[in-house]
């Protein structure tokens, strides 16, 4: 059976675990009794679906929400996983089909409504089919004092005893009384391994910086942290090598790591990193799984990660010991273009591509945030209780301006040139630069020519990048990255909606703004 990371990618199409998922998946796959408390939307279902694929036999999933069960079954089937549901919403045909799959030993996940457990026949059936795990969604429904009490949930304890298999219970309700009741009723009073997330990593300082001269920016960041263990993530293998060399020349103890290296060399780097103090590893995302070092003091991204989940996982490797850790994520228009085209040129089906664009948008929203990064990040993961004071925007509030007019001018330049040009040419039009290319195409005669002289080139680059970040414009892969307007931009163009933009602050040290654009 392939490992969790492979299944995560190949079956579920995700590039990284969300906070907390990996530990829970490991424990459940390992056959432990588990109680996991995660916020709604945090990604609970994966925590039993993935182990179900890693374990022999059938995983029985008990959930009170019929619509949700049917949804999950459909999604699993689309991903090629044998799953079925026994609920009151079934047609006779569907039920017969599920039974058949069970008889054939094909089914990996059987979703079942709690009231089904009342029928003696269900118990007999479950005993026969080789159940290896019971997953209980909305486990707080077992609590008689809660609003969602489901008497049938009280039968789950007996089911566990009859089948003698582990239980993985999930809920978003974290109060101590409910938890205690779950332990009593589902686990017969034997405390399971409990996960309470808690996505916030308050000791990690969060910072983003507009890419200016990435090599210099990373060198400055590393210089201020000389002698500390750190990771620099890069988008390409070649870059890991050049950047590692540059860091070495600047007197750091640094080495490269990427998937193209010999397995032995990679293990050597991992070993050095885990045991040596103050080593910097400049790596692609291939670096991480084998890393278990509690005192990584910093993580920098020389290129924008793939998604908000990947970002969280990568920065989350720092500061596992709880002591202060710092991060810096650089991003620029080329990153956005690259990430978009990777999604568009990938082989994933259209819905998945749309979801991937959505997850990239979430990361870009974080990169262009106007207020506290932690608030933006944790809100995405469904968590609302936290304090920050430990991000670049809490350190130094963003300087913002009403960008509506600038955006409208830029959109107009895009539309008047029929969405056929990239940012460089469009900025020349806006700034009234009569270059050869501009004159050859007659763009110096456009009404938009020179309307943006009030903003300098740097400023316009920031505007275009933020427009990409807000998904108002997208590069067209088929036309060499020519910028096109999206539907999201229409209300701004029509003057129905305004937009606030930030003035770019080039962050040299994560807590001290250095250069102003």
Binding site for ligand ADP (CB under 6 A): 14, 17-18, 21, 38, 40-46, 309
User: How far is CA 463 from each of CA 378, 428, 457, 502, rounded to the nearest angstrom?
Assistant: 26, 14, 10, 9
Q: Structure tokens of 500? A: 């606030």
Least spacing, CB of residue 315 vs Zn ion, in Å: 14
The DSSP code for 209 is: E
| Residue 18 contact among ligand ADP, Zn ion, none, beta carbon within 5 to 8 Å by kind | ligand ADP
The three state secondary structure string of 442-489 is CHHHCCCCCCCCCCCHHHHHHHHHHHHHCCCEEEEHHHCCEEEECHHH
Shortest-Cβ-distance residue relative to ligand ADP: 43
Q: Return the number of the residue (202 or 278) whose C-beta is nearest Zn ion.
A: 202
Q: Which does 374 bind (CB under 5 to 8 A by kind): Zn ion, ligand ADP, none?
A: Zn ion
- Site for Zn ion (CB under 5 A): how many residues? 5
Residue with tokens 């509506």: 404
**Nearest by Cα to 405 from 480, 507, 495, 514:** 495
Show the DSSP H helices in 191-307 as ranges: 214-223, 237-249, 263-275
Does 474 interact with Zn ion (rule: CB under 5 A)? Answer: no
CB of 389 to Zn ion, least distance (A): 6
Between vectors from CA 123 to CA 120 and to CA 127, what angle results, nearest 5°? 145
Nearest CB to Zn ion, comparing residues 374 and 408:
374
| Nearest distance from C-beta of residue 371 to Zn ion, angstroms | 8
Query: Cα separation of 311 and 289, whole Å?
Result: 15
Buried b (16+ CB within 10 A) or exposed e, 141-174: bbbeebeeebebbbbbbebbeebebbbbbbbbbe
Q: Shortest gap between Cβ of 297 and ligand ADP (angstroms)?
A: 26
The CB-of-162 to Zn ion minimum distance in angstroms stands at 50
Smaller CB separation from Zn ion, 372 or 451: 372
Q: How many Cβ atoms sit within 10 Å of the Cβ of residue 386?
A: 15
Place of tokens 């933020």: 466
Q: Could you say which DSSP state residue 41 is in?
A: T
Q: What, of Zn ion, ligand ADP, none, does residue 85 touch, CB below 5 to 8 Å by kind?
A: none
- Of 137 and 270, the one with the shorter C-beta distance to ligand ADP is 137
Closest CA to 89 of 71, 101, 104: 71
Chosen from Zn ion, ligand ADP, none, partner binding at 391 (C-beta under 5 to 8 Å by type): Zn ion
- Residue 207 as a binder of Zn ion (CB under 5 A): the answer is no
Q: Shortest Cβ distance from residue 366 to Zn ion (Å)?
A: 11
Nearer to ligand ADP, 21 or 228 (CB): 21
Distance CA 121, CA 221 (A): 65
x/- track of binding to Zn ion for residues 353-392 (CB under 5 A): -------------------x-x-------------x--x-
Q: Which is nearer to ligand ADP, 74 or 480 (CB)?
A: 74
Name which of Zn ion, ligand ADP, none residue 14 binds, using a CB cut-off of 5 to 8 Å depending on partner kind.
Answer: ligand ADP
Please report how close the Cβ of residue 367 comes to Zn ion at its closest, in angstroms.
Answer: 14
- Buried b or exposed e, range 430-469, using 16+ CB within 10 angstroms: bbebeeeebeebebbebebbebbeebeebbbbbbbbbbbb
For Zn ion, give the closer residue by CB, 391 or 423. 391
Least gap, CB of 391 to Zn ion (angstroms): 3
Helix (H) / strand (E) element for 4: namely helix 4-10
Q: Indicate the residue among 171 and 217 with the shorter CB distance to ligand ADP.
A: 171
* 187 contact, one of Zn ion, ligand ADP, none, CB 5-8 Å limit per kind: none
When the beta carbons of 222 and 372 are compared against Zn ion, the nearer one is 372
| Nearest distance, CB of residue 68 and ligand ADP, angstroms | 8
Alpha-carbon separation of residue 307 from 17, 41, 227 (angstroms): 11, 16, 30
Asked if residue 346 lies in contact with residue 228, where contact means CB atoms within 8 angstroms, the answer is no
Would you say 400 or 486 has its CB closer to Zn ion?
400
Q: Nearest distance from residue 9's CB to ligand ADP, in Å?
A: 10
Residue 87 CB neighbours (<10 A): 20
Selection from Zn ion, ligand ADP, none that 388 binds (CB < 5 to 8 A by kind) is Zn ion
Instruction: Give contact residues for Zn ion (rule: CB under 5 A).
Output: 372, 374, 388, 391, 394
């Amino acid at each position: 059976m392939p490992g969790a990371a492979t299944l995560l990618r190949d079956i579920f199409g995700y590039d990284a675990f969300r906070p907390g998922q990996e530990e829970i998946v490991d424990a459940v796959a390992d056959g432990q009794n588990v109680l996991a408390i995660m916020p709604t939307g945090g990604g609970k279902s994966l925590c039993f679906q993935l182990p179900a694929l890693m374990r022999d036999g059938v995983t029985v999933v008990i959930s009170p929400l019929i619509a949700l069960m049917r949804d999950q079954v459909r999604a699993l089937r689309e991903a090629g996983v044998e799953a079925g549901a026994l609920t009151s919403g079934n047609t006779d045909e569907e039920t017969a089909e599920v039974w058949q799959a069970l008889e054939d030993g094909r089914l990996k996940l059987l979703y079942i409504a709690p009231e089904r457990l009342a029928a003696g026949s269900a118990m007999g059936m479950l005993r026969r089919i080789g159940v290896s795990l019971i997953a209980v969604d909305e486990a707080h429904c077992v609590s008689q004092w809660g609003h969602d009490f489901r008497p049938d949930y009280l039968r789950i304890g007996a089911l566990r005893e009859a089948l003698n298999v582990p239980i993985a219970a999930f809920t978003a309700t974290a109060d101590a009384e409910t938890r205690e009741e779950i332990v009593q009723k589902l686990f017969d009073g034997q405390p399971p391994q409990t996960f309470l997330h808690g996505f916030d990593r308050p000791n990690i300082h969060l910072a983003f910086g507009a890419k200016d001269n990435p090599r210099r920016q990373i060198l400055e960041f590393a210089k201020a942290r000389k002698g500390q263990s750190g990771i620099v993530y890069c988008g390409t293998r070649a870059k890991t090598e050049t950047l590692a060399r540059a860091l070495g020349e600047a007197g750091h103890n640094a080495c490269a790591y990427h998937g193209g290296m010999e397995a032995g060399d990679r293990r050597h780097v991992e070993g050095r990193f885990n045991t040596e103090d103050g080593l910097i590893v400049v790596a692609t995302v291939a670096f991480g799984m084998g890393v278990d070092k509690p005192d990584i003091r910093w993580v920098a991204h020389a290129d924008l990660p793939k998604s908000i989940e990947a970002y969280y996982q990568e920065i989350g490797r720092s500061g596992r010991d709880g002591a202060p850790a710092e991060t810096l994520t650089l991003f620029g228009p080329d990153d956005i273009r690259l990430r978009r085209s990777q999604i568009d040129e990938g082989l994933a089906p259209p819905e998945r591509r749309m979801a991937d664009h959505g997850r990239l948008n979430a990361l870009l929203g974080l990169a262009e945030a106007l207020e506290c990064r932690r608030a933006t990040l944790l809100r995405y993961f469904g968590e609302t209780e936290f304090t920050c004071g430990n991000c670049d925007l809490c350190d130094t509030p963003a300087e913002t301006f009403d960008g509506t007019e600038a955006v409208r001018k830029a959109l107009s330049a895009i539309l008047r040139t029929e969405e056929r040009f990239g940012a460089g040419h469009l900025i020349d039009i806006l700034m009234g630069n009569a270059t050869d290319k501009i004159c050859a195409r007659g763009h110096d005669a456009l009404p938009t020519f020179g309307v943006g002289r009030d903003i300098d080139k740097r400023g316009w680059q920031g505007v275009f990048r933020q427009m990409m970040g807000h998904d108002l414009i997208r590069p067209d892969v088929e036309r060499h990255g020519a910028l096109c307007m999206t539907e999201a931009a229409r209300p701004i163009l029509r003057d129905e909606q305004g937009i606030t933009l930030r003035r770019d602050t080039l962050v040299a040290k994560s807590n001290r703004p250095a250069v102003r654009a």
